[in-house]
Amino acid sequence: MTQPVAFVTGASTGIGFETAKKLAAHGFTVYAGARRVDKMEPLAARGVRIVALDVTNEESMSAAVGGVIAAHGRIDVLVNNAGYGSYGSLEEVEPAEGRRQFDVNVFGLARMTQLVIPAMRAAGRGRIINVSSMGGKMYEPLGAWYHATKFAVEGLSDCLRMELKPHGIGVSIIEPGGTRSEWGAISARGLRASSGTGPYAAQARVMAAVLATTDKAAFCTPPGAVADAIVHAAISPRPKTRYQVGGSARALLLLRRLLPDRVFDAVIWTIYKRFPA
Residues tagged active-site: 146
- Please list the residues that pair with 201 across neighbouring strands: none
Q: How many CA atoms lie within 13 A of 275 on its CB side?
A: 20
Q: 63-71: which pairs have CB atoms within 8 A and are 24 or more residues apart?
A: 64/7, 64/31, 64/33, 65/7, 65/112, 65/115, 65/116, 66/115, 68/5, 68/7, 68/31, 69/119
Q: What angle do CA 237, 175, 47 make, to 5 degrees?
A: 60
